[in-house]
């Protein structure tokens, strides 16, 4: 099993350009997430998808769109990149939360390092 895969690993964009970050998981997980990691900020949730066909905003959704193409794939799109979107982007997946005092571990991909000039 590959776990969670992300493409590309690195990307440099100019301000105003668009691009899509791809993510796929082979663990049959229902939930998928997109985070960004910035120095001193930890990981912040951009969007998540609780199941195929559903998506919802996280903490920092502005400037991004997502598509849950099927159960395996969850893509993140930057329509018009800005320097403030320079960051490392992580995709993650987990089982559906069953409620109560439980937690399902999130499995992360290796990340995409994006620079916007």
Q: Which residues bind other proteins (CB under 8 A)?
A: 4, 31, 35, 40-45, 48, 50, 90, 92, 94, 96-97, 99, 101-111
Cα-based torsion angle of the residue sequence 22, 28, 30, 36 in order, rounded to the nearest 10 degrees? -30
Exposure class string for 94-106: b at 16+ Cβ within 10 A, else e: bbeeeeeeeeeeb
Shortest Cβ 7–other proteins spacing (Å): 14
For residue 83, the SS3 value is: helix
Of 4 and 13, nearer to other proteins (C-beta) is 4
Nearer to other proteins, 14 or 99 (CB): 99
Rank residues 23 and 116 by Cβ distance to other proteins and give the closer one: 23
């Amino acid at each position: 099993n590959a776990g969670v895969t992300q493409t590309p690993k690195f990307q440099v964009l100019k301000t105003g350009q668009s691009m899509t970050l791809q993510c796929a998981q082979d663990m049959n997980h229902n939930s998928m997430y997109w985070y960004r990691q910035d120095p001193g900020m930890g990981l912040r949730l951009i969007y998540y998808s609780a199941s195929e066909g559903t998506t919802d905003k996280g903490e920092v959704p502005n400037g991004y769109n997502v598509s849950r193409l099927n159960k395996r794939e969850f893509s993140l799109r930057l329509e018009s990149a800005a320097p403030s979107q320079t960051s490392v982007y992580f995709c993650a997946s987990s089982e559906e939360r069953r409620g109560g005092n439980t937690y399902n571990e999130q499995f992360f991909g290796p990340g995409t390092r994006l620079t916007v000039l």
